[in-house]
Amino acid sequence: MDVSRRSAVTLGLLGVLGRGAELDPGEVSLSATDLLTGRRLEHRGERPCPVLTLSAGLALGKLLRFRGPAALTRVVPVARRHVVRSSPVSSWHREGELPVTVLADAALRRGDATATNLLVRQAGGRAALTAFCRGLGDERTRLDRAAPDCCDVAPWDPRDTTTVTALATGHGVLLLGAALPLGTRAVLAALFPATRLPGGWTFTGSTATGRFGTAVTVGTAQRGRRRVLLAAAVRSGQPGTRGSARTLAPVVTGALAALDRRW
């Protein structure tokens, strides 16, 4: 990428965030596509970022694709050896069992590491889920370690990484494409938390955080007939800093506002 192109991309992101934004554009990755108008925003879309516990959504997509909605009614044992740190829900159920729907809620809404691991295991394991991503057209996402180790990815470590473009591709095929029947797509979408945003948008997706000031989100924003497929990541690079979902708010809302403007 030449200097003029790099400047254009950076200025574009400054336009998204606003001149008074506290975020450094160099810490942000963004991919946003308006499926109605075809407009697209991308900034450092191919820069690696951690998958974190977002693998849970991909695992649920694989379960629904090959087993159908009945997969969500399955009850999964939670052995003591399975419970790891950063498991605010699953840690209360050692030696018990939880339905897949409860594991989904814990992983997608609370970033529960044990629930994420159990869902990935139900979907065939990390290698099988990585292969599933390739079948969705996502050529970058790779799963190497279980949570929470996969949330501690250093910026120079290629393990357990993806890109915002790859995340958007995979989730787009699952939530909006032909990977699942229409009714099953609705079942998958209902598992993700939905958040009201400024401008009348509703964002349906998942957000995860990790070390090195990392926060990543992926999902779809809808307002009327408009749908935007969006993935964003923020990474400060500070080893002792835990990422915060709040840092993603100006990126997501700014991207939607930018797509609303006439270019």
Tokens representing 256 are 């939607």
Residues 65/47, Cβ–Cβ less than 8 Å: no
Q: What is the CATH number of the domain that holds 256?
A: 3.40.710.10
The whole-number pLDDT of residue 12 equals 59
In a domain, 2, yes or no: no
Radius of gyration, alpha carbons of the chain: 18
Query: Can you tell me the distance from the alpha carbon of 252 to that of 31, in angstroms, rounded to the nearest whole number?
Result: 10
In a domain, 10, yes or no: no
Residues 159/192, Cβ–Cβ less than 8 Å: no
The whole-number pLDDT of residue 229 equals 98
Residues 216/233, Cβ–Cβ less than 8 Å: yes
**pTM of the full structure:** 0.92
Query: Can you tell me the distance from the alpha carbon of 88 to that of 92, in angstroms, rounded to the nearest whole number?
Result: 8
The whole-number pLDDT of residue 237 equals 77
In a domain, 252, yes or no: yes
- The distance of Cα 157 from the centroid of its chain, to the nearest Å, equals 19
Query: Residue type at 63?
Result: L
| Residues sharing a CB contact under 8 Å with residue 72, sequence separation 6 or more, in sequence order | 63, 64, 99, 100, 101, 104, 187, 191
Candidates 236, 259, 248; CA nearest to 32 is 259
Identify the DSSP state of 243. Answer: P
The whole-number pLDDT of residue 41 equals 93
What's the domain count of the chain?
1
Burial of 198 (0-12, 13-18, 19+ CB in 10 A): exposed
Tokens representing 232 are 């964003």
Distances (CA, A) of 162 to 64, 203, 206: 22, 21, 15
The parent domain of residue 122 ranges over 23-260
Per-residue pLDDT in tens (0 to 9) along the chain, 263 residues: 232 333 334 445 656 765 546 778 789 999 999 999 999 999 999 999 999 999 999 999 999 999 999 999 999 999 999 999 999 999 999 999 999 999 999 999 999 999 999 999 999 999 999 999 999 999 999 999 999 999 999 999 999 999 999 999 999 999 999 999 999 999 999 999 999 999 999 999 999 999 999 999 999 999 999 999 999 999 987 888 999 999 999 999 999 999 998 55
The whole-number pLDDT of residue 13 equals 64
In a domain, 147, yes or no: yes
Candidates 72, 79, 121, 78; CA nearest to 99 is 72
Kind and range of the H or E run holding 226: strand 226-235
Q: Which residues pair with 32 in a beta bridge?
A: 41, 230
Helices (H), 68-112: 100-110
In a domain, 193, yes or no: yes
In a domain, 8, yes or no: no
DSSP letters spanning 29-44: EEEEEETTT--EEEES
The whole-number pLDDT of residue 8 equals 36
In a domain, 254, yes or no: yes
In a domain, 6, yes or no: no
